[in-house]
């Protein structure tokens, strides 16, 4: 298998053991190094590139675990549920009036239990949890999973002093498996919604694709089995299956959606279990 990453480098003594555990779980090389003050981005990239055969590494620094691209451009990205961007979305994002809330069927005092079968960087799951839903996330890609796991870990630390964040983070659970395993689980409270947002090819120019999407493309590529996943979700007893798609793309399944909600960039194809409204 062509692995996109072969090395995890820790430049943070405090989290060295954790970084080593992550490297071991991914079966990649672990090394530690120190960065001198004032290192230019070019010098930094060179120092890191000397330790890997790939275009990127996993980097543990004092701000947590990152995917660090070294070429063609030098940038890093991480899962950050406490960024100002996420906070802005949480507070000013439109609450239960936003499209994703309508798509999963949120109504006053109704907060469904959701399986997010394609967790990715957890952004949609976080929005849903901040709207009151309990979300069980599945992520099968080991590189994405470890970034998400570290994002949840850091958010839980920050949340200790922020009760409003703590309740949200406690509503999020991650399982590091293919969604198929999630569908087999028996739960005290089975889900009312399965949410799917598989990777699709991006025809746009690279510069137009957001950095986190570039990262997902690098790590995951395309989810070629999305139709199987949707059919499997539709074969469960769940009331509602929601598929997020780019607004103008074709539907994943030949089966007609019960209805569609369109936004500026994305749309949601909503499949209701027969007999339910």
Ligand X SMILES: C[S@@+](CC[C@H](N)C(=O)[O-])C[C@H]1O[C@@H](n2cnc3c(N)ncnc32)[C@H](O)[C@@H]1O
Query: What is the contact surface with ligand X in residues (CB under 6 A)?
Result: 117-118, 120-124, 138-141, 144, 178-179, 197-199, 216, 220, 223, 229
Q: Which is nearer to ligand X, 220 or 270 (CB)?
A: 220
Which residue's beta carbon is nearest to the bound ligand X?
A: 120
* Alpha carbon distance 53, 243 (integer Å): 37
Alpha carbon 28 to chain centroid distance?
22
- DSSP E strand boundaries for the chain: 7-10, 29-32, 56-61, 64-69, 75-77, 113-116, 134-138, 172-175, 193-196, 240-246, 259-262, 266-272
- Cβ partners under 8 Å of residue 275, min gap 6: none
Q: Which is nearer to ligand X, 28 or 172 (CB)?
A: 172
Q: Which is nearer to ligand X, 172 or 199 (CB)?
A: 199
Q: What residue has token string 């906070």?
A: 87
CB of 181 to ligand X, least distance (A): 8
Q: Which is nearer to ligand X, 30 or 195 (CB)?
A: 195
Q: List b or e across 34-46, with b for residues whose CB sees 16 or more CB atoms inside 10 angstroms.
A: eeeeeeeeeebbe
CB of 39 to ligand X, least distance (A): 31
CB of 121 to ligand X, least distance (A): 4
CB of 202 to ligand X, least distance (A): 10
Q: Which is nearer to ligand X, 16 or 232 (CB)?
A: 232
CB of 122 to ligand X, least distance (A): 6
Q: What DSSP line would sit under 140-169, residue for residue? A: --HHHHHHHHHHHHHHHHHHTT-HHHHHHH
Query: For the range 124-128, what are the long-range contacts, defined as Cβ-Cβ under 8 Å and sequence gap of 24 or more?
Result: 124/100, 124/195, 124/197, 124/244, 125/172, 125/195, 126/81, 126/86, 126/90, 126/168, 126/172, 127/89, 127/90, 127/93, 127/98, 127/100, 128/100, 128/101, 128/104, 128/195
Q: Which is nearer to ligand X, 181 or 262 (CB)?
A: 181
CB of 23 to ligand X, least distance (A): 20
CB of 16 to ligand X, least distance (A): 27
Give the gyration radius of the chain's Cα atoms: 19
Q: Which is nearer to ligand X, 48 or 67 (CB)?
A: 67
């Amino acid at each position: 298998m062509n692995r996109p990453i072969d090395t995890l480098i820790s430049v943070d003594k405090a989290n060295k053991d954790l970084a080593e555990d992550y490297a071991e779980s991914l079966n990649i090389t672990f090394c530690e190094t120190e960065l001198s003050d004032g290192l230019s981005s070019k010098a930094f990239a060179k120092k890191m590139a000397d330790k890997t055969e790939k275009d990127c590494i996993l980097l543990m620094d004092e701000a947590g675990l990152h995917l660090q691209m070294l070429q063609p451009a030098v940038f890093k990205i991480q899962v950050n549920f406490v960024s100002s961007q996420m906070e802005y979305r949480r507070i000013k994002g439109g609450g239960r009036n936003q499209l994703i809330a309508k798509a999963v069927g949120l109504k006053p005092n109704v907060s469904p239990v959701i399986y997010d079968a394609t967790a990715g960087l957890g952004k949609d799951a976080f929005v849903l949890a901040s709207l009151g839903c309990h979300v069980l996330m599945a992520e099968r890609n080991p590189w994405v999973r470890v970034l998400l796991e570290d994002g949840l870990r850091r958010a839980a630390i920050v949340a200790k002093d922020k009760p409003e964040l703590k309740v949200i983070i406690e509503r999020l659970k991650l399982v590091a498996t293919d969604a198929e395993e999630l569908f087999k689980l028996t739960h005290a409270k089975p889900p009312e919604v399965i949410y799917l947002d598989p990777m699709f090819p991006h025809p746009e120019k690279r510069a137009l694709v957001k950095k986190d999407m570039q990262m997902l493309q690098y790590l995951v590529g395309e989810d070629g089995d999305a139709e199987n996943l949707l059919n499997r979700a539709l074969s469960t007893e769940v009331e509602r299956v929601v598929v997020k798609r780019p607004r103008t793309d074709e539907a994943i399944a030949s089966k007609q959606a019960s209805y569609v909600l369109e936004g500026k960039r994305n749309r949601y194809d909503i499949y209701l279990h027969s007999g339910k409204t």
